[in-house]
Each structure stands twice: as structure tokens, then as C-alpha cells.
């Protein structure tokens, strides 16, 4: 029986660069109030959101991804030709095939990089990061680009009082490459499909095509059920990620949770008993919930503003439709 030659990858992987792109149009709560019965005070108190960005026709999933990716590649100090893999997490690319990752890989100028899309909702960045780490350690790529991108304004029902104010558009990207020391910890991830009805698309595309429904499909959720699950169950997952990395909350510098809701973020901070020195991302206030893009966008902003710095130890956790989740500890680029 022939013996398969072992892979020759890097010992470890790390995030080498990060980039983000937010559409130029800024949408305040007042615009949302044109179609739902609510108030600016209610939206802020329930979600923490003051403004969000909505994409123009030109700011496609691919276009936003290319902008964020170019910044991440430059930040990493490498060239696009060195990228061996492109992973895009999105639920708002409306071409079923081909994967938008292939278009991005080509337009960036990669040397025929492996390219594919994943659908893991708001946990998509964590899923992509884990896959990228595996590719680098396994040896199938030296550098992998991980992109979280959404145009959730296309999937927002502006008459749905529970969700109309939540979603925004944008793209965040990171370059993952080889490291001589551990810089991306073990991932704690999973799914709870029995709760999938709590966040979902209203109807299948086929119902709209066949005329069974007249309204274009949108994302809807059961707010209270999602809130309880996120606060209580995801705090446990976050702690498991810390344990898996072999650190405690006292060792943390930064906490970057999925930007779903400020109340969820604040409750997780309290449950985890994070020390006051830990910087907490609250990018949702001006960016809204951008699903797979929220963690890399928040990471990019913290580094750009100086609230976080290169080499900081950060806990990242994403959670959402599925219900799926992924948490890990990383060293910031």
C-alpha cells in the first residue's frame, strides 16, 4: 500500500492584515422611521444603532469586497499574486453560481487562487478564519484572504418593525498567513438547527418566482428568543474559546463580538466579567448589523482609531442564523 506524502504547511497561522469598506451613504434612524411606527429613542435603546450604511447600485458585494481586500493585502505587506485562497462569507450575493469569490480572486490579480463562498450567517467570518488557518497549516496555501461582506439592505423589509432598523451593508477582510507562534486559537463552533426558525429568510426564492407571494423575500427574526440565546449560550461559548486558548479574561486586551445589538454585547461583557481594561467593540452604533462583515469591520475600526493595537489579544465571536456560532482568540495584526 502506497504511503501518502505528508503536507508541509506552516506550524501556525495568524492574521497579517485587515481592511474594511463601508458604503458612502449613511442612513440615520429618521429614514427608517418613514416606514415603521417607532422612534429614534426606541431604536437606540433597543439596539444601540444610530446610523447604518446602505450600498448604492455600484457598491455590489464584489465591489465592496475588492475595496476591503485591497486594504487588507496592503496592510499585510504582500501582493495579490501571493494569495492562494479566497474565502467569502455572505448571504446576500444573489447569483447562486458562480461563487463571488472567483470573481474577486480574478479581479485582485491572484495566481488562480482557490476561491469559494460559504453561508454561515453572522458566524461566517469565524468559519472562514478557521478554514483559512487549516489551509495554511495543512500547506495548501501560504496566504488566504477571508472576506465577510453583506448587502443586507437588499434583504430588509422596511415595514417589519422588528428588523427594519437593524441591518447595514459593508465588507471586511483579513489576510491570514504563516506564523512562528500560535496567533489563532482553537475554534469553538457549532450549530443548533432546532432553533433555525428564530432567524430566517421569510420565504424561499421559488415562492417569489412562482408568484406564491408578492413580497420579495427578507430576513426576519424572533427578537426575544435570539436575545436570550445570544446572551446566555454565547457567553458560554466565549468562555470555552478562552479555555481552549489557555487564557483567562484577565489576559484579554480586546473583545470583538458580532455586532448584533448593543444590549447583547453589554450583557455578554457582564456575564463574562470582563475587566475594565478590555476594549469592547461597539461598531454597531454607526454601522448597524452587517452579519458576516461585522467582526472584521469592527476589528479594522478599533485598529484605525487606536483603541486596539497590533499584538493585542482579542476574543472574537460570531453568532446568528442557523443558529450557528464560532469563537476563537486571535492576536491582532
The residues that are catalytic are 122, 258, 289
Cell numbers linked to 315: 476574543
- DSSP state letter for 184: B
Angle at 192 (CA atoms; ends 291, 295), nearest 5 degrees = 25
Look at residue 324 and give its three-state secondary structure. Answer: strand
CA distances from residue 206 to 201, 202, 210, 211, 264 in whole angstroms, order as listed = 12, 12, 6, 8, 34
Q: State residue 163 phi and psi, 5-degree precision.
A: -130, -15
8 A C-beta contact, residue 302 and residue 254:
yes
Burial of 298 (0-12, 13-18, 19+ CB in 10 A): buried
Rounded-to-integer distance, Cα 333 and Cα 330, Å: 9
Amino acid at each position: 500500500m502506497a504511503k501518502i506524502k505528508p503536507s508541509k504547511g506552516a506550524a501556525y497561522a495568524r492574521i497579517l492584515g485587515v481592511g474594511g469598506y463601508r458604503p458612502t451613504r449613511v442612513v440615520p434612524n429618521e429614514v427608517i422611521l418613514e416606514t415603521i411606527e417607532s422612534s429614534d429613542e426606541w431604536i437606540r435603546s433597543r439596539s444601540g444603532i444610530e446610523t447604518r450604511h446602505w450600498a448604492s447600485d455600484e457598491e455590489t458585494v464584489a465591489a465592496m469586497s475588492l475595496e476591503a481586500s485591497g486594504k487588507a493585502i496592503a496592510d499585510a505587506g504582500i501582493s495579490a499574486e501571493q494569495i492562494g485562497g479566497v474565502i467569502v462569507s455572505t448571504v446576500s450575493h444573489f447569483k447562486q453560481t458562480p461563487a463571488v469569490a472567483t470573481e474577486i480572486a480574478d479581479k485582485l490579480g491572484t495566481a488562480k487562487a482557490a476561491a469559494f463562498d460559504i453561508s454561515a450567517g453572522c458566524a461566517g467570518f469565524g468559519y472562514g478564519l478557521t478554514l483559512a488557518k487549516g489551509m495554511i497549516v495543512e500547506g495548501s496555501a501560504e496566504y488566504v484572504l477571508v472576506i465577510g461582506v453583506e448587502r443586507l439592505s437588499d434583504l430588509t423589509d422596511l415595514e417589519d418593525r422588528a428588523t427594519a432598523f437593524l441591518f447595514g451593508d459593508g465588507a471586511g477582510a483579513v489576510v491570514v498567513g504563516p506564523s512562528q507562534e500560535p496567533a489563532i486559537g482553537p475554534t469553538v463552533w457549532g450549530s443548533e438547527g432546532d432553533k433555525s426558525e428564530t432567524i430566517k429568510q421569510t420565504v424561499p426564492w421559488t415562492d417569489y418566482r412562482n408568484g406564491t407571494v408578492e413580497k420579495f423575500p427578507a430576513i426576519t427574526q424572533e427578537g426575544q428568543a435570539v436575545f436570550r440565546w445570544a446572551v446566555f449560550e454565547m457567553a458560554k461559548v466565549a468562555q470555552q474559546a478562552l479555555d481552549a486558548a489557555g487564557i483567562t479574561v484577565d489576559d484579554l486586551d480586546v473583545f470583538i463580538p458580532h455586532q448584533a445589538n448593543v444590549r447583547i454585547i453589554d450583557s455578554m461583557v457582564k456575564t463574562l466579567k470582563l475587566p475594565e481594561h478590555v476594549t469592547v467593540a461597539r461598531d454597531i452604533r454607526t454601522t448597524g448589523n452587517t452579519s458576516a462583515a461585522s467582526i472584521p469591520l469592527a476589528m479594522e475600526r478599533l485598529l484605525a482609531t487606536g483603541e486596539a493595537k497590533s499584538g493585542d489579544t482579542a476574543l472574537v465571536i460570531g453568532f446568528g442564523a442557523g443558529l450557528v456560532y464560532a469563537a476563537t482568540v486571535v492576536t491582532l495584526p
